[in-house]
A and B are shown apart, each in its own frame.
Chain A
Amino acid sequence: MKKEDTVKLISAEGMEFVIDKEAAMVSQTIRNMLTSPGGFAEAEHGEVTFPEISAVILEKICQYFYWSLQYSRGKETEFHIEPELTLELMMAANYLHT
């Protein structure tokens, strides 16, 4: 995997998640950060830090990105969400516009 095709998402605790750029683009917020012409620092380094999102939630978010890609390509599987994660995940989704 080439570095240009990936993006690094960093959780509040500093945990790093390297995922495909294509998957990260599922989030409208990340898409804007990476593509806006003004050149966010994020766009240059391919790194986004989320001081409000914990590692557990960010991992779930990454799983959702990949699930969502597959779903849009017609692969219909369930995306399970543990009830105890729902509130935090909801807020993260709200922030990420996903």
Chain B
Amino acid sequence: MEKESELIRRCIEAACQSKESVEKWRRQRRTLERLPSHLSQSLLRNLLRRRLLFPSLLEVFKYSVEEIDLRGENSVDGEWMAYLGAFRYLRSLNLGDCHRINNSAIWSIVGMTSLKEVDLSRCMKVTDAGVKHLISISTLEKLWISETGVTANGVALLASLKNLSVLDLGGLPVTDSALNSLQALTKLRYLDLWGSKISNQGALVLQRFPKLSFLNLAWTNVTRFPNLSALECLNMSNCTIDSILEGNGDKAPLLKLVCAGATFMNEAEAFLYIKTSSLSLLDVSKSSLSRFGVLADMKMLEHLDLSSGTMGDDSVEMIVCIGATLKNLNLSSTRVSSVGIGILVGHVPKLENLSLSHTAIDDVALSYIGLMPSLKVIDLSNTNIKGFILQPSTESHVDSTLTALQNLSYLESLNLEHTQVRDPDLHPLSSCKKLSHLSLKCASLTDATLHLLSSLPKLTTLHVRDAVLTTNGLDAFSPPTTLRVLDLMGCWLLTEDAISQFLKKHPQVEIWHEIVQNLSTEHQTISNSLSTSQQSLKGPQWNKKQGNLPMPEFFVDQRLKYNREELLALQFSPLSLQSPHDAGSVTPNV
């Protein structure tokens, strides 16, 4: 979409200032009808964000809006839908995660003539009766009904929507016979069947969709299916794979293959019929793949995920074969060590993103990483990196091993959480001029770290967790002007005063800390219920991230901080005894 001009942005802001300002313009009906759709959609989006949109206000948009995205809005119900049903030119309607949407709410959009896209993902109250309403909209081209209450019978009804090209049936109990009845949908390009009851028998029907280019069969019992000549993206995660795409005709022009968590019955055969030479993405994380010879042919591969698999230093040669095109390489939780990283050096000229978290690499690997010229994002969390190598002869003075990273002129993001790097060894980072994201989490970091990092000209996000930061240290910290997020979770010495002082001085920075969170929880409970539900749903990132942190003493009510599952997990792991490394292994690495 075209970027809004400055004046338009200011107009929309003024229009969405308050309830009163809305009243000032909502009666200008003729003007509203003439509004170009991109302007009215932008206005609508802003009203929604400012919590100023209510069903009867929707009416003023009925001649101008073509697309509406109400994802995750808990208040959206039958009344909203009654107004939306009157939208003359509505082309796309997104109601994903609107939990109050039920079958009767969908009745309002029966027979709409311009509607092409409807997203009802996770509207759990929508069942087969809702599908009966949907099939009245013959113009539908894209339909998402994953994780709704629709059954196999409802799915079979969709056969009458002949224009469908995108159909998401994820998490629905689609049976072989239901899929069989969808044969009429010859325009299908995208079909999502994860978690369905499809068997190998049912999968034979897939050949009836000549244009199928995206197929998701994750979490199904399908182990083999025939050649699909237009297939570009295939997801077989958590499946047992026997033989896929076997058959005559042109081999599928596969670009993306995701087999995360898959079990290969016969590794040699699994890839036999796949045109591996065109693949650009391969995800075999958590899978049983143990022979990596197949990688050698993937000359176009850009993204390779081998995490939590059986890859070790002995197989790194296979990555070397295809290193010339690789951009992303995930080796986290593998057996690869510093030796393996050494083998890669000189063979991965385009590598931008490298993850080595939860591996046994140590400081030796850093010198090799420093020789991979295109690197932008590096994850070294939960490794044995210390920041220095002890040499018996020069015990008195050792150079920081992070110096090697200074060679990486494109480095933007670095994760060193749960390593043993300490303040003095972080010094070389101050000359990484492009660094915008840095994550540190170590109980031996002090105020010196903050001071050191204040000279990074592009830093936008800084995590310094569990560090011994003091009130004085925070006070003296003058953050780079680019800084937007400062994550100080678990820095237990900091006081409420220190943090609010800092926020006053640097209003552009958002601080994540247990104290700030307490303040905002209080704030939430007094604000009206509408916005509370909204915040809890879309909530700021740190709500999710603060999970398994060692707990400062001042935290009054433990239930505020942990959800049920986490509390149960804590029963068996006294935090006081947990080393940072153990704590890390509890946190799922993303």
Contacts and interface: CB of A to CB of B under 8 A. Distances in A.
Interface of A: 64, 68, 79-84, 86-91, 93-94, 97-98
B32 interface: yes
Best-buried of A64, A83, A89, A97 by chain B (most CB within 10 Å): A83
Contacts of B24: 82-84
Contact of B11 (A68, A81, A97): A81
B521 interface: no
A26 B36 CA distance: 22
Q: Across the A-B interface, give the 6 residue pairs with the lowest CB-CB distance, nearest first.
A: A83-B21, A83-B24, A86-B15, A93-B7, A81-B14, A90-B11
A79 B35 contact: no
Given A83-B20, A84-B25, A98-B5, A91 B15 contact: no
A65 to B, nearest CB: 10
B5 A93 contact: yes
Contacts of A87: 11, 15, 25, 28, 31-32, 35
Given A68-B7, A84-B24, 13 more contacts: A82-B24, A83-B20, A83-B22, A83-B24, A86-B12, A86-B14, A86-B21, A87-B25, A87-B28, A90-B39, A93-B7, A94-B36, A98-B6
B39 A94 contact: yes
Contacts of B17: 83
A89 B25 CA distance: 12
B6 A90 contact: no
B5 A97 contact: yes
Given A83-B21, A84-B24, A91 B34 contact: yes
Contacts of B14: 80-83, 86
A98 B6 CA distance: 7
B49 interface: no
B36 A98 contact: no
8 contacts: A81-B10, A84-B25, A86-B15, A88-B28, A88-B31, A90-B12, A90-B15, A91-B34
Nearest to A61: B7
A98 B15 contact: no
Contacts of A88: 28, 31
A47 B522 CA distance: 59
Contacts of A93: 5, 7-8, 11
